[in-house]
Structure 1
Amino acid sequence: MAGLLSQNINIAQQSIKGQFLRTALTVVIIAIGITALVGILSSVKALEGTIGGGLSGIGANTFNIQRYAFTMKRRGGGERNKVNPVISYREVKEFEEQWDFPFTQVGVSFQATSQAEVKSEDRKTKPKVIIAGVNANYTENAGLNIGEGRGFSSFDIKNNARVCIIGSDMEDELFQGLNPIGQTLSIRGSKFTVIGLLEEKGSTFGNNIDLRVLIPIDVARSIYTSPYINYDLSVKVKDEQFMDGAKDRATVLFRNIRGLSPVESDNFGLIQSDQLLGTANEIKGILYIAAFIISGITIFGSSIALMNIMLVSVTERTREIGVRKALGAKRSTISWQFFIETVLISQYGSILGILLGLLIGYIVSNVLEVEFSMPWMPVILATIISIIIAIFSGVIPAIKAAKLDPIEALRYE
């Protein structure tokens, strides 16, 4: 049995070489479908990690008031092109002072720059550090954990203390081998004492959010004085049953601060963490559907192409089949020969498609600066699909070859 299988494989390999161009085109068509499937699914897996990092800006039971709402629904007419004003410092201070909803706390922040160069006594970073001005509640509202040291106190914020909290990667950049707590770093010539080290969060869409420095908000405003700075407000609700009431109250308060009349629509966005997660899952679902549709259409086309090439092969080798049958070859032997040939072509396309798909996933992971992990499920799925292609495409040509009358086949020219 093993010898017969080996013989059929050798015959199939010779046949594939004999019709190399047609076989190569079929392999490429199969590979395109498998590449689409594996590439998109492995890229989605890489995106899951970076989306998780992107949602780290909103902690559990927290909602943000931002310049724009984040929604996948397309708005019509003038709403689509509406430009909302930035959220100003005056507005966030008024909100913070007037907010009195129970079991909640307000966080205020703004990103001063994402291209800062930070120095220690003997080292400096590349100009790619994020500097953010924050209040005392920001880290808890954002779901950030202090790994070492402490967070900001109300005293630090009110007295504009020259202290800072650094991301986990800043330790390696500036304080290799040293405990960063108590060390001094310099931002635009201003000295800050490190009081806290954040736990690692990872990268999000190519931005390393662990390479950042948090400083008191008014100190940040004195160093970075760009006009039209946009601020973010976050409200953490300590008891989830008050979430809806807190959101309604925040909407009313901020509308009053902005002087909106009852007939005017909101010119700001209110975003809750679970809404962002739902939107992220919706995007992921769309990508999965796209992967299956694209690969499904391509794979169906490749199945037809593979079946046709095998039917042509049966026709071209009719005389060969007749000779083999005349020499005693059984129907099962003939059918297995052509079926194995179909399986080999399908597997060649599958292997090429998997390799190209993994390459796409690896490139996406590098661009997003997230760790690439082997997407076993897409690979297994691609292998199963290639086997299904072989069965679908190989059965009819194999049966046709097996049913050929040896006398008529020998007469075929």
Structure 2
Amino acid sequence: MFSLFRENISIALDSIKGQLLRTILTVLIIAIGITALVGILTFLGALENTITGDFASMGSNTFNIQRYEFTTRRGGSGEREKINPIISYRNVRQFKEKFQYPFSKTSVSFTGTRNAEVKFENEKTDPEASVVGVNENYLENTGTEVEFGRSFTFFDIENNNNVCLIGSDFKKNIFKDTDPINKTISIRGVKFKVIGVLESKGATFRDNQDLKVLIPLQVARSIYTLPNINYNISVKVDDKQFLEGAQDEAIITFRKIRSLNPVEENDFGLERSDDLINRISSITSYLYWAAWIISIITIFGSSIALMNIMLVSVTERTREIGVRKALGAKKNTISSQFFMETVIIGQIGGIVGIILGITIGAIIVAVSGFEFAVPWLAIFAAVITSFLTAVVSGSYPAVKAARQDPIESLRYE
């Protein structure tokens, strides 16, 4: 039995080598479908890993008070969209004073600009750096780590010291061959001493997290004085069991700050980091389904093309089939030969498709700035899919070859 199986593989390989051009075209047809599947799944996997990683770094025991709910919808026809007031500095100052929930830390921050030019001696960056004013709890609440140097202290923030933390990308431009610690940089003519460098976080949707400067909140307010600045509030509790209570207390406190009566809806939003992760996972699950549907349509077309090519192969080798039957080959042997040939071509196409799909997906991921991970699910799905494609496409041609009449086959020209 094994020797017959090995012989069928040998015959299939000889046939593949004898029809090299047709084999290459067939392999490419299958590879296109598998490339679409693997490429899309690779990109979606990287997208999900990057986004969930960014939010997961904040921790599951953190929540944010923001201007709008994440799920806020625009009003339909005839219904005006609700416009919430900004979270002003007065709001955040009152919140810090009145919110005294046990085992919690409150972070306050705002983005002064996303187009800052940072200077060091004769070097300067392009005007694309972000400057963020923060308090002493910002790093812990947002899961931001200092790679080397030190973090802000309570006294740095309270005394409005001109110190800063810089993103890791500054080491690649203005501090190429220099240790940035204790060096002085200039932003809008204001000088800051660098006390630490942040760990790299990469970029998400073109927002480079490694090209930002963190400075004390009040110092940032003295530099960036635009009206209607929207502040960010983040609250972190030491233990997740206190999270629900802290959220309720935060809502009550902020409603009092906004002077809302009991029947009025909240004019602000509250979001937990793990809620965002769950919503993002829900969204990406729909994208996965869409990817599978697109890929299945492509692979279905590939299977039809593969079946047609194998049927042409059966017709062209009709005389060969007659000779084999005249020499005693059984129907099962003939069908197994053609079926094996289809499976081998399908697996070769699957391997080529996996390589192309991962390569294309990795290129797109690199350009997008997402975090690449080996798409094991996509690889497994591609192997199974290419095998099933070959089984479906090869079954009918194999049966047709086995049913050929030996006498008529020998007469075929």
Q: Same fold (TM over 0.5)?
A: yes
Structure 2 match to 1:381: 381
Preserved contact between residue 56 and residue 274 of structure 2 (Cα < 8 Å): no
Change (3 A) 1:379 1:118: same
- CA separation in 2, counterparts of 1:307 and 1:407? 25
Please report how far the alpha carbon of residue 397 of structure 1 lies from its aligned counterpart in structure 2 after TM superposition: 1.9
Preserved contact between residue 68 and residue 84 of structure 2 (Cα < 8 Å): yes
Please report how far the alpha carbon of residue 215 of structure 1 lies from its aligned counterpart in structure 2 after TM superposition: 0.4
What SS does the corresponding residue of 1:339 show, helix, strand or coil? helix
Please report how far the alpha carbon of residue 134 of structure 1 lies from its aligned counterpart in structure 2 after TM superposition: 0.7
Structure 2 match to 1:241: 241
Change (3 A) 1:74 1:357: farther
Summarize the alignment of residues 134-153 of structure 1 with structure 2, pairs less than 5 Å apart: 134-153=134-153
Structure 1 match to 2:272: 272
Change (3 A) 1:59 1:380: closer
Residue type at the aligned position of 1:306? L
- When normalised by structure 2's length, the TM-score is 0.86
Summarize the alignment of residues 176-325 of structure 1 with structure 2, pairs less than 5 Å apart: 176-325=176-325
Please report how far the alpha carbon of residue 64 of structure 1 lies from its aligned counterpart in structure 2 after TM superposition: 0.6
Structure 1 match to 2:85: 85
Structure 1 match to 2:14: 10
Change (3 A) 1:57 1:91: farther
- CA separation in 1, counterparts of 2:242 and 2:76? 35
Residue type at the aligned position of 1:287? L
Please report how far the alpha carbon of residue 150 of structure 1 lies from its aligned counterpart in structure 2 after TM superposition: 3.0
Residues 56-88 of structure 1 deviation map (CA, whole Å, 9 limit, x = unaligned): 6734411111122224x9676478943333222
Q: Which moved more, 1:313-322 or 1:210-219?
A: 313-322
Residue type at the aligned position of 1:12? I
Structure 1 match to 2:67: 67
What SS does the corresponding residue of 2:110 show, helix, strand or coil? strand
Please report how far the alpha carbon of residue 48 of structure 1 lies from its aligned counterpart in structure 2 after TM superposition: 3.4
Residues 356-382 of structure 1 deviation map (CA, whole Å, 9 limit, x = unaligned): 422331232122224544434422431
- When normalised by structure 1's length, the TM-score is 0.86
Any stretches of 5+ residues in structure 2 without a counterpart? none
- CA separation in 2, counterparts of 1:75 and 1:121? 49
Summarize the alignment of residues 389-400 of structure 1 with structure 2, pairs less than 5 Å apart: 389-400=389-400
Preserved contact between residue 53 and residue 204 of structure 1 (Cα < 8 Å): no
Any stretches of 5+ residues in structure 1 without a counterpart? none
What SS does the corresponding residue of 2:151 show, helix, strand or coil? coil
Change (3 A) 1:301 1:263: farther
Please report how far the alpha carbon of residue 229 of structure 1 lies from its aligned counterpart in structure 2 after TM superposition: 1.8
Preserved contact between residue 56 and residue 273 of structure 2 (Cα < 8 Å): no
Number of matched residues?
A: 408
Residues 103-122 of structure 1 deviation map (CA, whole Å, 9 limit, x = unaligned): 21211001122222211224
Residue type at the aligned position of 2:237? V
Change (3 A) 1:199 1:31: same
Q: Which moved more, 1:335-344 or 1:360-369?
A: 335-344
Change (3 A) 1:56 1:197: farther
What SS does the corresponding residue of 1:11 show, helix, strand or coil? helix
Structure 2 match to 1:37: 37
Preserved contact between residue 47 and residue 371 of structure 2 (Cα < 8 Å): no
Change (3 A) 1:170 1:404: same
Change (3 A) 1:81 1:311: farther
Preserved contact between residue 60 and residue 143 of structure 1 (Cα < 8 Å): no
Change (3 A) 1:146 1:195: same
- CA separation in 1, counterparts of 2:8 and 2:41? 39
Structure 2 match to 1:326: 326
Q: Which moved more, 1:217-226 or 1:365-374?
A: 365-374
Please report how far the alpha carbon of residue 161 of structure 1 lies from its aligned counterpart in structure 2 after TM superposition: 1.6
Structure 1 match to 2:174: 174
Residue type at the aligned position of 1:230? N
What SS does the corresponding residue of 1:34 show, helix, strand or coil? helix
Please report how far the alpha carbon of residue 275 of structure 1 lies from its aligned counterpart in structure 2 after TM superposition: 1.0
- CA separation in 2, counterparts of 1:175 and 1:99? 41
- CA separation in 2, counterparts of 1:239 and 1:8? 64
